[in-house]
Amino acid sequence: MPDTPEDSKLTRTKSRWAELGRFLTGSTSRPEDTRLPPGQHLVRNWPVLDLGQTPDVARENWRLDIAGAVEHPTTWTWHDFTSAPQTRKLSDIHCVTSWSRYDNHWDGVTTQDLTEAVQPTADATHVLLTSNDGYTTNLTFEDFTSPEAILAHSWEGQPLPLEHGGPVRLVVPHLYFWKSAKWLRRIEFATRDHPGFWEVRGYHNRGDPWSEERYS
Ligand SMILES: Nc1nc2c(c(=O)[nH]1)N[C@H]1C(S)=C(S)[C@@H](COP(=O)(O)O)O[C@H]1N2
Ligand SMILES: [Mo]
């Protein structure tokens, strides 16, 4: 049995990196001719990063609550999710631990289509994601509904591997990858910000890789 997320070795190491400012280059320029954000290096593999617990939810038992400041709160089953409009997106991954991975094809439901389905109220300003491993992360409404963001069930045309957040994870490619919640269980629209797991442990509240928003 892994340690609780609170005192796992990785959590302690990453909290320490936040204190030390590990991987910060101090560069905030965005050269037009490169895809790679400052302080990042390219990898060809796809590393696994999480709190050390891999929840295994069968598709027939999978549920996604969409709640909070919305006109039509709902709980989607797998059937509901796969019956919603399906989209393919192509994007790069930028992890705060300094690796980036180009050209990932994701299939699923865009956050814009999901948002359209539940009709957030006019005062909804933020979104809090909660996952089946207890992980949480927060986004502004605008970042959550960015045009490239998708709730992905497939990667490279295959079902999303369990270790990468299957059956369904969020992908918000314009922010560091910790904002992309794996094993998604609940999406809560809110009228104020609720900092998530890493955001209360020294990581930046927004996490824009282009301006190196690694730590708070
Ligand atoms: N549910 C959940 N989602 C999570 C995490 C987690 O621990 N639990 N870790 C985040 C972090 S820190 C990163 S870098 C990415 C890693 O995704 P990957 O393992 O598919 O590369 O998932 C993010 N989403
Ligand atoms: Mo991460």
N-term to C-term CA, the chain: 31
80 pLDDT more than 70: yes
Mean pLDDT of the chain: 94
The number of beta carbons lying within 10 Å of the beta carbon of residue 82 is 14
26 pLDDT more than 90: no
37 pLDDT more than 70: yes
Average pLDDT over residues 171-187: 99
Per this entry, what is the length of the chain?
216
* Lookup result for tokens 């006109």: 71
Return the pLDDT at 152: 99
State in Å: Cα 182 to ligand 1 middle.
Answer: 6
Q: State pTM to two decimals.
A: 0.94
Structural domains of the chain, ranges and CATH numbers in brackets: 5-24+38-47+58-211 (3.90.420.10)
Q: How would you label 48-78 residue by residue, b for 16+ Cβ within 10 Å and e otherwise? A: ebbbebbbebeeeebebebbbbbeeeeebeb
Tell the residue nearest (CA) to atom 11 of ligand 1. 178
Query: In one letter, which amino acid is 92?
Result: D
Confidence of residue 1 (pLDDT cuts 50, 70, 90): very low
The verdict on the CB of residue 43 being under 6 Å from ligand 1 is no
